[in-house]
Structure 1
Amino acid sequence: MGDLLLAGGRLVGGEGDPVDILVSDGAVAAIVPAGGAGSRGGAGGFAGAERAERIELDGRWVLPGLWDNHVHFTQWASVSRRLDVGVATSAAETAALVGEALREAGGGAVAREMLVGYGFRDGLWPDEPTAALLDAVSGPHPVVLVSGDLHCCWLNTAALASVGVPAHPTGVLREEEAFAVHRALENVPVATSDAWALDAARAAAARGVVGIVDLEMAWNHEVWSRRLEAGHDLLRVEFGVYPQHLDRAIAEGLRTGDAVEVPDARGGHDPLVHVGPFKLITDGSLNTRTAYCYDEYPGSHRHPHPFGLLTVTPDEIDDWLDRAVGAGLVPAVHAIGDHANTLVLDAFERLGASRIPSGVAGARKPTLEHAQLLAGDDFGRFAALGVVASVQPEHALDDRDVADRYWAGRTGRTFAFASLLEAGAELALGSDAPVAPLDPWITLSAAVARTRDSRAPWHPEQRIPTAAALAASLGRRPERAGALVAEGDVADLAVVDHDPLAATPDALRTTPVALTLLAGRPTHRTL
């Protein structure tokens, strides 16, 4: 890999004066005022400049490459191949979309293949989804529709039989039953799935992404080892380990922070894939009305779990965390309802910060994933316990109307990013893709604007400064005042057309990315 000279750029967080940046051996070797590096073949202003490939930045802005701290990468890669039913506003309208898709597909052998759709959100629908409603438009053709929050699946009778639950009363499966359906859908040949994943990685790199935390519900060690061997080298990856795989992870000696090494994979001394956190899910989601709350959901007489669903008991949370931490795996625990969040923070308190693995795990801290609805007394506990709030700002815009209905009177402490920061909590931003797009500029805009259209911002008091949102999107980089890129940094960089710290929320959402570098190697380039 040759050296690069990024000429005439400006540093995000810096003084705004043009600079030349020499990238050598995967790191930022030197930063000097523009023109100080000399021209190609001339007397370089610093060693190596005369040999470097010169890329003219023409005043563009340089910042560290961005991370998405919560994705389900294989599902994200697959979702564009599924029927989009996210625009539907009722069960009947959704069924009509399914019927139209089946008519367009035709009959014969095609009619025996499963139709998979994605994106329905039934929290505000005026009618109920049922297997019978889908049967009326699909007949013997199996149909599975995955909810936009991934916590619910709606199946017709043929699909229910194919996944082993033929007698289900409604065809609407939630939480673990839904996750079992997700696993049943993982029947795409791995070569096809991995090709889709490579496409998704290219798209992410084109948005300035250099790394993801992949919390796919799979044995991710095998998945990413295979992808590395096949040449997937566009992203850094930290992958999660779920309870169903914990015994295997312990038996194979996997610890958070361990590098995954495969023959002939790129990365050399800077491996791209690492073991990430132990992921535990303790409750459901808002739209599915399974987020575990202190208060009953309105209309809960129609729902089997009036307070939401706690999927593991407090004792089980303790046991899982104790086993994982004892094996060297740092926890990342899902909690959305306020009661679930309290229980998880209680478990972290009982666990004790001194128990969290260190050393090979590097700077990874335990995370509470989502932290969507919080009790007032719990904001300060994040900082006190050293737990990072791993949050997804775009969810606030997806969920604002359903939250106003089901969490009325409590939405001031929903997606409460400013309150978390004021209480001293550390934030990590992500998308939860495919629940929201894997695009950190969309994430950043949602965090700083609390709206994405002509609607008034939702709880604008919970907006956070762009600088804070950006800091929460950079992975575990050293904190520093001033410019976000400095000499000696790993050259995971993004080059964008405008200064994100000065951009309007709308401009931030659509930020053009001209160049992405991963350890000095271009993974996306338009220059």
Structure 2
Amino acid sequence: MLIRNARLVALDGAAPTASYDTSEPVDVLVEDGLVTQVGTALAYDGEVHDAAGAWLMPGLWDQHVHLAQWTMSSSRLDLAPARSAAQAVELVAARLEAWPDRPVIGYGHRPTAWPEEPLVGMLDALDTDQPIVLISGDAHHAWLNTTALVHLALPVRQGMVAETEWFAIFGRLRTILGDDGTGPEAYRRTLEDAAALGVVGLTDYEFSGGVDDWVARWGEGADLLRVRMATYADGLDDVMARGLRTGDPLAGDPRLTMGSLKIISDGSLNTRTAWCCEPYAGPSPLGFPHGQPNQTSEELRDLLARATAHGLTVAVHALGDRAVTEALDAFETTGAQGTIEHAQLIRREDVRRLADLGVTASVQPAHLLDDREVSERLWPDRGDRSFALRWMLDDGVRLAMGSDAPVARLDPWLAAAAAVHRSLDDDPWHPEQSITAREALAASTDGWGTVATGHPGDLVLLGADPLEGGDDADHAARLRGFADHVLATWVAGQQAFG
């Protein structure tokens, strides 16, 4: 196909060196899924799209998605407004009154700041025989009633199901939900919604499923965008037995590929389980004032070494600064390559180590919008090194941005706006760590800069220039609504939206 009369969004700071006038619209030819020519008055007798002076840039990626959970979210009870356990119970009661014969799956509550601890008995008091599963906003723990605990073969308790125990049983939720809203048709709708935002690719870190699941849903129509499928440690043997390496195509299609080994090395801020160098402020209800790791140093290094020996990159969830240090030690010892996922709190010297080791920082800037208040309360003296994106870019670290959906909305424009202004309506939070809109969008395109010959034909056409305006609150607000300017999205030269 030929895209005619398009202005190039200058993600490299300027349009690529070329023999044409870079200030004027150009033509972009895509053949066999690749950009083969960029110039003026290109001759072509096939499919032509007239951009009429609109803006063209590489398509956007969300580098961290839990796709089954995000797909299910449309049918979940929204618990984000709850400011106490009692309010959450009221929301559940209202859902049961409306739909008494259906299980309740809720999502989005953040109980760290609640005045009371959520207990199983509070949900049991609703006197229903339906399972109730309420997933926290950070997706690291869930609050269940006894019916759900029994249904999922979990020990009966009064507290929540957290971290490793929760991740292990997430895949069994379908036994409660039946048709859980994550079939191929539901996935297709999710991918269509993403394409309408200008998204061309996703990295899927879902806790359940594997190669066979993705190959099956791909063949049944969930094949609109590029997808990199990660595996966890419990699926590593299967991936190795298949001889799969990072980047290998699945289902015979180069748009669906094998991704990384994902390792969750520590927890989250809201559960106080992110592993930190200094203790959390206030009490430690779990008995670990610094948070805690999920593996020993030896176990972490062994996983990285096994993955590397079999041609897999590694994605290490490390949210606290101690976890980041430990992960970098493992990368250095084993020679592994890949990403640190989150790096939400980091020491200055470890930013430099990220750059020296060539490890990518896979970050989710929209989290700072939700975690700002909690960070100030639990890490009151560490805000200057939370979401330290400016340090990372200044030191030469490669950034890859995502959402961690459903923890934040799958929306690269929201992530970019958060990275630029570090706030919604308030003053920016530690603005010294802000980055520019150009830098944020460059970190959202899988490493591709201004559209040029040799790029994949993964493109988005925009009705306005996303770089126009200063990097201030007004520009951030404009970016948050930029999905309205998406005119068309192409993946490997095939139109996915528009």
Please indicate, yes or no, whether the TM-score normalized by the shorter chain is above 0.5: yes
Q: CA deviation at 1:138?
A: 4.5
Quick one: percent identity of the two aligned structures?
43
Does the 8 A contact of 2:72 with 2:181 survive in 1? no
1:389 partnered with 2:361: yes
Tell me, in whole angstroms, the C-alpha distance in 1 between the residues paired with 2:158 and 2:476.
46
CA contact (8 A) 2:188 2:221 kept: no
Match of 2:33 in 1: 26
- Offset at residue 338 of structure 1 (A): 1.0
Structure 1 residues 165, 24: closer, same or farther in 2, change over 3 A? closer
> How far did 1:191 drift?
8.6
Aligned to 1:362: none
CA distance in 2, matches of 1:424, 1:53: 40
Q: What's 1:173 paired with?
A: 161
Q: TM-score, normalised by structure 1?
A: 0.88
Instruction: Please state if 1:351 is matched with 2:334.
Output: yes
For residues 297-325 of structure 1, give each alpha carbon's deviation from its aligned partner in whole angstroms, at most 9, with x where no partner exists: 23334333322121111111011111111
Which residue number in structure 2 is paired with residue 204 of structure 1? 194
User: What's the CA shift for 1:141?
Assistant: 2.5
Residue type at the aligned position of 1:140: D
Determine the C-alpha separation between the residues in 2 that align with 1:7 and 1:446.
33
From 300, 318, 321, give the equivalent of 2:283: 300
Measured after TM superposition, the shift of residue 189 of structure 1 is 4.5
**Does 2:289 correspond to 1:309?**
no
- Whether the 8 Å CA contact 1:96–1:137 is kept in 2: the answer is no
Distance 2:255 2:127 in 1: 44
Partner amino acid, structure 1, of 2:381: G
Cross-structure match for 1:471: 442
Q: After TM superposition, give the deviation of residue 446 of structure 1 in Å.
A: 0.9
Residues 333-344 of structure 1 aligned to structure 2 (within 5 Å)? 333-344=316-327
Q: Secondary structure at the match of 1:297?
A: coil
Aligned residue number for residue 43 of structure 1: none
Say yes or no: does 1:261 pair with 2:244.
no
Conservation of the 8 A alpha-carbon contact between 2:183 and 2:217: no
Cα distance in 2 for partners of 1:407, 1:133 equals 30
Matched, 1:161 2:150: yes
Q: Partners in 2 of 1:366 and 1:20 — Cα distance? A: 35
Q: How does 1:139-288 map to 2 (within 5 A)?
A: 139-170=128-159, 172-187=160-175, 188-189=178-179, 193-262=183-252, 267=253, 271-288=254-271
1:233, distance to aligned residue in structure 2 (A): 2.4
Q: After superposing the two structures, state which structure 1 stretch, 341-350 or 227-236, moved more.
A: 227-236
Aligned to 1:69: 63
Report the Cα distance in structure 2 between the residues aligned to 1:371 and 1:28, rounded to whole angstroms: 34
Matched, 1:319 2:302: yes
Give the letter aligned to residue 321 of structure 1: L
Which deviates more, 326-335 or 217-226?
A: 217-226
Contact 1:99/1:138, CA 8 A, preserved across alignment: no
Superposition pairs of residues 354-365 of structure 1, within 5 angstroms: 356=336, 365=337
Secondary structure at 2:451 match in 1: coil
What is the aligned partner in structure 2 of residue 42 from structure 1? none
1:128 matched to which residue of 2? 117
After superposition, residues 479-518 of structure 1 pair within 5 angstroms as 484-503=450-469, 504-511=475-482, 512-518=485-491
Task: Tell me the residue number matched to 1:7.
Answer: 4
The structure 2 residue matched to 1:105, chosen from 99, 121, 138, is 99
* Aligned counterparts of 1:70 and 1:400: Cα–Cα separation in 2: 20
Q: RMSD in angstroms over aligned alpha carbons?
A: 1.7
Q: Which residue identity is paired with 2:161?
A: L
- Cross-structure match for 1:332: 315
Distance in 2, matches of 1:154 and 1:194, equals 28
Matched, 1:520 2:493: yes
Residues 33-76 of structure 1, C-alpha deviation per residue, up to 9 Å, x if partnerless? 3xx24xxxxxxxx2xx2x23332322210001111111111111
2:76 equivalent among 49, 72, 82: 82
Cα distance in 2 for partners of 1:32, 1:426 equals 30
Q: What CA distance in whole angstroms lies between the structure 2 residues aligned with 1:443 and 1:72?
A: 16
1:254 Cα shift?
1.2
1-structure distance, mates of 2:311, 2:66:
23
Measured in 1, the distance between the counterparts of 2:399 and 2:29 equals 31
Listed one character per residue, the Cα deviations across residues 239-296 of structure 1 (whole Å, up to 9, x for unaligned) are 111100111111111111111134xxxx5xxx21111111111110001111111222
Q: Distance in 2 between matches of 1:222 and 1:446?
A: 36
Residue-by-residue CA offset, 1:109-149 (whole Å, 9 max, x unaligned): x1xx4211011111211221111111223433321100111
Task: After superposition, give the CA deviation of every residue in 1:210-250 in whole Å (9 maximum; x if it has no partner).
Answer: 11111111243112211221133211111111100111111
How far apart are the structure 2 equivalents of 1:229 and 1:350?
40
Change (3 A) 1:190 1:227: farther
SS in 1 for 2:302: helix
**Which letter maps to 1:141?**
Q
**2:412 is aligned with 1:446:** no
Following superposition, the deviation at residue 190 of structure 1 comes to 8.2
Gaps of 5+ in 1: 38-45, 357-364
Secondary structure of 2:248's partner?
coil
Counterpart code for 1:412: D
Please report how far the alpha carbon of residue 78 of structure 1 lies from its aligned counterpart in structure 2 after TM superposition.
0.8
How many residue pairs match? The answer is: 479
Return the alpha-carbon distance in structure 2 between the equivalents of residues 139 and 297 of structure 1: 38
Contact 1:102–1:138, Cα closer than 8 Å, also in 2: no
Q: Aligned equivalents of 2:350 and 2:135: distance in 1?
A: 32
1:213–1:276 contact (8 Å) kept in structure 2: yes
What is the Cα deviation at residue 20 of structure 1? 2.5
Q: Residues of 1 paired with 2:407 and 2:454: CA distance? A: 36
Q: 2: distance between equivalents of 1:184 and 1:53?
A: 46
* Cα distance between partner residues in 2 of 1:102 and 1:227: 32
Residue 60 of structure 1 corresponds to 54
Counterparts of 2:127 and 2:77 in 1: how far apart (Å)? 14
Aligned equivalents of 2:414, 2:132: Cα separation in 1: 31
Q: TM-score, normalised by structure 2?
A: 0.92
Q: Are 1:153 and 1:181, in contact at CA under 8 Å, matched by a contact in 2?
A: no
Partner deviation per Cα, 1:440-497 (whole Å, 9 max, x = no partner): 1111111111112x211111111101121111111143x6xxxx01133221100011
Question: Aligned equivalents of 1:432 and 1:126: distance in 2?
Answer: 27
Change (3 A) 1:410 1:138: farther
Q: CA deviation at 1:422?
A: 1.6
Q: Structure 1 residue aligned with 2:385, among 410, 413, 438?
A: 413
Contact preservation (8 Å) 2:260, 2:312: yes
1:361 equivalent in structure 2 = none
